[in-house]
Amino acid sequence: MRLENKVALITGGNSGIGLATARLFVAEGARVAITGRNQETLDAAARELGPDVLVLKADVNDPEAVGRAVEATVARFGRLDVLFANAGISGFTPVGKTSLASFQDILNTNLTSVFFTVQAAVPHLNDGASVVLNGSVLAVLGARGYSAYAASKAGVRAMARVMAAELSPRRIRVNVVTPGAAQTPIWSAAAPTPEALAALEQRLARGIPLGRLGEADEIAKTVLFLASDDASNIQAAELVVDGGATGAP
Ligand code: NDP
């Protein structure tokens, strides 16, 4: 029970990595609140995770909604020990074919909202709390057509170090989990049919030394580690979960 007596808030907890993390946190004894936008998947997550999990509809691009979600979490559970700023979107933004609105949507959702989610949580976080931000290997690898996404995640990476410095006096740890390609619904926009998804996964797997995409559970286990007291001296770090995509020559 590595999160016994801890309270955690997970943005984007109704799908993929966020949902896998919510499941694991509950199993490890945490009291958990999740946010998301999609009512159908929020309802499904509520049914799966049970009545002890607080399920909140909140768009991370709406700072007031995020503030209300943080306050609702503290009102329900009385404290806040862990924030997993996980919500994010992908999107194809090739140079020459991308509108300002679609570029900004990715920057806002993946970067600006992370800043304001942490800002909303900070007054409520206990001293010694853990903040985990969700990055991406594309912050360093890049990928053709993914300028906005890569820039947003590079921003998360840079921002985490600054936040860690600012929050260290309160012993609040800020770290980044950096997934490589992992099997979650985020790929459905790039590959709308099962055949296209299988072909995309095969192509992605060829660039990964371990030869396969990651699984949401594998990333959730890393988030659990960073969130728990097992990582009590880990600050401003980045833990990469990518099957060797960035590390192995
Ligand atoms: P999913 O699409 O399964 O999950 C994305 C989550 O973010 C959903 O819960 C979604 O909720 C939420 N979300 C998106 N936009 C908003 C918004 N404006 N307000 C509130 N919630 C929002 O994908 P993943 O689980 O893969 O993605 C989680 C994180 O992992 C992202 O930050 C992504 O960039 C990162 N990542 C994923 C990788 C992968 O290969 N899967 C690789 C590297 C990083 P809703 O559906 O309700 O909008």
**pLDDT attached to residue 57:** 98
Which ligand 1 atom is at minimum distance from the Cα of 135? 44
Enter the pTM of the model: 0.99
Place of tokens 């990715």: 106
Report whether residue 39 contacts ligand 1, using a CB cutoff of 6 Å.
Answer: no
Task: Indicate the pLDDT class of residue 11, thresholds 50, 70 and 90.
Answer: very high
Q: Ligand 1 centroid to 52 CA: how many Å?
A: 23
Instruction: Provide the residue type at 24 as one letter.
Output: L
- Computed from CA positions of residues 143, 146, 149, 150, in that sequence, does the dihedral angle turn out positive or negative? positive
Position 137 pLDDT exceeds 90 = yes
What the block records as the tokens of 18 is 């966020």
Report whether residue 152 contacts ligand 1, using a CB cutoff of 6 Å.
Answer: no
Q: Which of 29, 57, 65 lies closest to 229, judged by CA?
A: 29
Report whether residue 184 contacts ligand 1, using a CB cutoff of 6 Å.
Answer: yes
Active-site residues, by number, are 149
Q: What percentage of the chain has pLDDT greater than the value 90? A: 97
Report whether residue 91 contacts ligand 1, using a CB cutoff of 6 Å.
Answer: no
Q: Under DSSP, is residue 15 helix (H, G, I), strand (E, B) or coil?
A: coil
- Computed from CA positions of residues 190, 218, 148, 142, in that sequence, does the dihedral angle turn out positive or negative? negative
32 beta partners: 8
Q: Ligand 1 centroid to 16 CA: how many Å?
A: 7
Q: Ligand 1 centroid to 82 CA: how many Å?
A: 18
Mutate to test the pocket of ligand 1, among 10, 11, 17 (most ligand atoms within 8 A of CB): 17
Q: How many residues does the chain have?
A: 249
Q: Which of 54, 235, 32 lies closest to 129, judged by CA?
A: 235
The Cα 123–Cα 32 span in angstroms is 18
ipTM entry: 0.99
pLDDT in tens, 156-184: 999 999 999 999 999 999 999 999 999 99
Which ligand 1 atom is at minimum distance from the Cα of 109? 18
Q: Under DSSP, is residue 63 helix (H, G, I), strand (E, B) or coil?
A: helix
Place of tokens 């995409």: 213
Which ligand 1 atom is at minimum distance from the Cα of 153? 34
Report whether residue 136 contacts ligand 1, using a CB cutoff of 6 Å.
Answer: yes
Q: Ligand 1 centroid to 7 CA: how many Å?
A: 21
pLDDT in tens, 25-81: 999 999 999 999 999 999 999 999 999 999 999 999 999 999 999 999 999 999 999
- In order of 8, 15, 54, 119, 192, the CA distances from 78 in angstroms are 11, 26, 13, 19, 42
Contact call for residues 120 and 60 (beta carbons, < 8 A): no
Which ligand 1 atom is at minimum distance from the Cα of 138? 43
**pLDDT attached to residue 10:** 99
**pLDDT attached to residue 185:** 96
pLDDT in tens, 78-133: 999 999 999 999 999 999 999 999 999 999 999 999 999 999 999 999 999 999 99
Q: What does R_g of the chain's alpha carbons equal in angstroms?
A: 17
pLDDT in tens, 191-222: 989 999 999 999 999 999 999 999 999 999 99
Contact call for residues 81 and 6 (beta carbons, < 8 A): yes
Q: In 10 A of CB 221, how many CB atoms?
A: 15
**pLDDT attached to residue 189:** 84
Position 249 pLDDT exceeds 90 = no
